[in-house]
Amino acid sequence: MRKRYLGLALLVAAIGCGGPKSEPSSTEATTSVQRPTDPSATAGWIANAFVGTRVGPLGIVTDQPFFHFQGYQPGGEEKILALPNPLTQTLKLGDTVVEASKVTDLNQAFDPRTWTLTTTFKLGNAAVKIAQISEPDALKEFVEVSNESDTELIVVSRTEGIGIEGVGSDGSAYAVLLSPSDPKVYVQMEELIVGAESTGVSRRVTGAVERTAIAKKGAPAKFARTVRVEAKAKGFAKPKFSIEIDGPKEDQEKVDRLVAYLNMGIPRFGHTGPMGLSSTTYNGHVFWDSDIWMLPAVALMDPARARALAEYRLGTSGQAAKNYQAWVKSQKPTAKGKVGQPKSPANGMKFAWESSVSGKETVPGPSQFQDHITGSVAFGLELANRLGVITSNEFSPVAAGAKAFFQARSEPGPDGLEIKQTMSPDEFHTGDNDLYTNVLAQRFTGDAYKLPKDATSLLTYDGDPLRGYKQAAAVLTIYPLQLEAAERQASVMLERFASKVTENGPAMTDSVHATIAARLGEPDQAYEFWKKGVEPFTDNPLGLFSEKRASEKNYFLTGAGGSLQTVLYGFSGIRVDTKPTSGFGRKPGYVTKLNSGATLTITPSLPKGWKSIKLRNVFWDGKPHEVLVTPTTVTVN
């Protein structure tokens, strides 16, 4: 243990001699939008593969924002745990604590290219700059104070934790053990530097360590601290992937933030709830968000993160098998009644709708009967297999488990097999033969299922009144499922269903509409859908994605994943299927056979004002490619 602290002391010495290597440079290019920050605005957020933290409008990590890491209740609902934030700071001008209302020129910006959150402001004649930076195995923080006032500006830094140990005799460094689990997370304090007058040895106070820096007139203060993970995450560096749009600057900025925030929020452990490492909303449990909304985007951007998402599902397939056996033993309950077929295949899997870290079902209400979830999990893993993220040997048992579950869940009917009394992904309706669910069952069993329809098109479920839906449901069979019959009716279905979704529904609905419109060859309509699915949800200075228009809950990784899918699978036109077709009678500009046997095609559909899209380090078959698309050409290197 002592060798670790010696290394910290050497790091401190290096900082004192030449400054920390990872400190943000003032000349570094940035695509961030820097706008005045409302002191009452939602706290900023910064994360890496292991930890996340909230940052207040003054750039200070305070008591209220939490520090979030990968730990779970050992029983019960197996909720994700968040310890009290171990990093806190206080700024004082003389004896007065600095508040946001007392500063001027307050600005906060997130640089998506360097994953850096920077806050600057003035306090009288003092200028303060605070930066938090996400790195593969650490979150770093740098504070600079330049004071031209006769009044002392004091920075009090406090770190709390479980089992504080290793405080150096000179106060130069310490580590705080936050989690007894592996990997271990530490907070490191590095020596105050550059003309600061400090209190000397770090002061230990009731389970905490404090250090104070005093910035006098003409004596700038500068210090750093790090939240470090003991074991590095292999392959979990910042992705080299980027999307470069030759078009409106504001669109480029939107996309850059979506890419950065989505990748920041996915933990190395793969157990990724809708809010990732940004909050304990939904108890950190996993839904179809991971399989249908996040994985298809990150599979092209970063195989390591996609692999982590897939490994969570593969790792909980044993529990899914137990869930299935328990369901069969309890006579196969549905939302209302039992399945009217006694025979059940032996080796099924039933994935939980609200899945805990172990894969157990944790939702007590009717949502547990969203039986599409098993098919959604299998679909996400199928795409991961096709793109080379997981192997066929890894995917096959889940495909077989999904097949057995749907066979047990189905009953014969006059128009094919039926699945009765299931909750639609629309979530406003429980009834018979949900279209999305039945298409997934048909996909993995190979059997013919009833697909509800009327004289005009396919319908969401039996007796669909075409009145209102919480979120996209029937159109999901067009994208992402790519059902040929639905694609032939795509224009009609989009017209029938898109306008009937509740206004305060989740963001990913409009991203599905946008992707479908782009594939139909209607990029300008797609662009309007895309903006509708991004702008109202990110209308805050840092572009943090909220779950709903009328909600400040962020960061909603699901929304970011859906919006990026529109850019990748809609505007850029990437498609993964079993045959070389665009799906809508449009001729692909690029066709390649993947190692999995699937076919990848590219058929661009760029909105007006986008001259080109360049995808750097976009992955398939485990290899990076550079793709340049224009409205009429595709170039792949």
Share of residues in the chain with pLDDT > 90 (%)? 60
**pLDDT tens for residues 277-314?**
888 889 999 999 999 999 999 999 999 999 999 999 99
CA distances from 317 to 208, 348, 371, 539, 613 (A): 42, 10, 16, 39, 38
What pLDDT score was predicted for residue 197? 52
More confident call, 67 vs 557: 557
Question: How high does pLDDT run on average in the chain?
Answer: 85
Do strands 574-577 and 126-135 pair parallel, antiparallel, or not at all (unpaired)? unpaired
CA distances from 629 to 517, 528, 588 (A): 18, 20, 12
Domain segments of the chain as ranges: 2-229, 271-409
**pLDDT tens for residues 550-579?**
777 899 999 999 999 999 999 999 999 998
* Rounded Cα gap, residues 78 and 393, in angstroms: 30
What pLDDT score was predicted for residue 1? 24
* Rounded Cα gap, residues 458 and 124, in angstroms: 66
Q: At 433, give phi and psi (nearest 5°).
A: 55, 60
Share of residues in the chain with pLDDT > 70 (%)? 82
**pLDDT tens for residues 387-407?**
999 999 999 999 999 999 999
Can you tell me the mean pLDDT for 377-381?
98
Residues 6 or more apart in contact with residue 144 via CB below 8 angstroms: 128, 129, 130, 220, 221, 222
Q: Euclidean distance between the first and final Cα of the chain, in Å?
A: 48
Can you tell me the mean pLDDT for 521-540?
96
CATH number at 2-229 = 2.70.98.40
CA distances from 232 to 147, 166, 183 (A): 38, 21, 8
* Rounded Cα gap, residues 139 and 118, in angstroms: 13
Rounded (10°) angle between helices 392-409 and 435-445: 120
What pLDDT score was predicted for residue 206? 54
CB 186 within 8 A of CB 50: no
What pLDDT score was predicted for residue 553? 84
What pLDDT score was predicted for residue 257? 97
**pLDDT tens for residues 351-372?**
999 999 999 999 988 999 999 9
CB 290 within 8 A of CB 309: yes
DSSP state of 187: E
What pLDDT score was predicted for residue 190? 56
What pLDDT score was predicted for residue 344? 93
**pLDDT tens for residues 217-254?**
877 777 777 777 765 566 788 999 999 999 999 999 99
* Rounded Cα gap, residues 422 and 418, in angstroms: 11
What pLDDT score was predicted for residue 204? 52
**pLDDT tens for residues 91-122?**
777 777 888 778 889 899 999 999 999 999 98
* Rounded Cα gap, residues 591 and 372, in angstroms: 31
Examine the pLDDT at 32 and tell me if it is beyond 70: no
Residues 6 or more apart in contact with residue 609 via CB below 8 angstroms: 247, 248
Task: Please name the CATH architecture into which domain 271-409 falls.
Answer: Alpha/alpha barrel (1.50)
What pLDDT score was predicted for residue 67? 62
Q: Which two three-digit tokens encode residue 552?
A: 């400040």
Examine the pLDDT at 274 and tell me if it is beyond 80: yes
Q: At 18, give phi and psi (nearest 5°).
A: -135, 0
